[in-house]
Homo-oligomer: A and B are copies of this chain.
């Protein structure tokens, strides 16, 4: 049996790129220029270029780099969403990726580049189907929700969220980030213990003043591998 017996399905790649900005969790959305769902907001993505991309991950990475100017420090496959009805053009599958970046590292904040058709959208906005930017194109809201669940789950047992922070950051920023992702308060002592135990970071030697005692800045160690813990946070 060969594929020639069948109508080939459409195959696309879409990415949910998270960042932390203005004390809230946001994802990158683009306004669609073309049909279907013209002028709706959508996840960055598109068709695979079989000549240029060696794998779907390449496609995801290229599309994100095009939009942000940088390669996200974390990119993993999320899930593939497929159905007869998710795309009006026919049976389709989208290989979805999940990525993290510090918005400060992208060119999206820069004024000349500032693009009305590419926006960091607050996750809170996307939970309410009647809010701005809604409804999203295709099943992108469902993909976003799947990604958010994955992020929350991984925040419970790994250091993953640090990839939302800039290259140098304080423990306080890390603490705030985790509380925003999980939507509840976490003892800073617990996070600091894990931060230390992970052995992924080193002091820069610099401190940053916040109106009170100056906080130590940390950076990821060269070649540090992402650490998972044996227990979940509460």
Interface residues of A (CB under 8 A from B): 1-3, 5-11, 34, 46-51, 53-57, 77, 79-80, 82-85, 90-91, 93, 95, 230-232
CB-based nearest B residue for A48:
B9
| A to B CB contacts below 8 Å, 9 in the list | A1-B34, A1-B47, A2-B47, A3-B11, A7-B50, A48-B91, A50-B84, A80-B80, A93-B93
- Whether B77 contacts A95 by the Cβ 8 Å rule is no
A55 to chain B, nearest CB (A): 5
**Complex Cα–Cα for A85 and B55 (A):** 9
Query: A37: shortest Cβ distance to chain B, in Å?
Result: 13
Contacts of A80 in B (CB 8 A): 56, 77, 80, 95
Q: Contacts of A231 on B, CB cut-off 8 Å?
A: 230-232
Minimum CB–CB distance from A211 to chain B (whole Å) comes to 37
Contact of A11 among B1, B8, B77 (CB under 8 A): B8
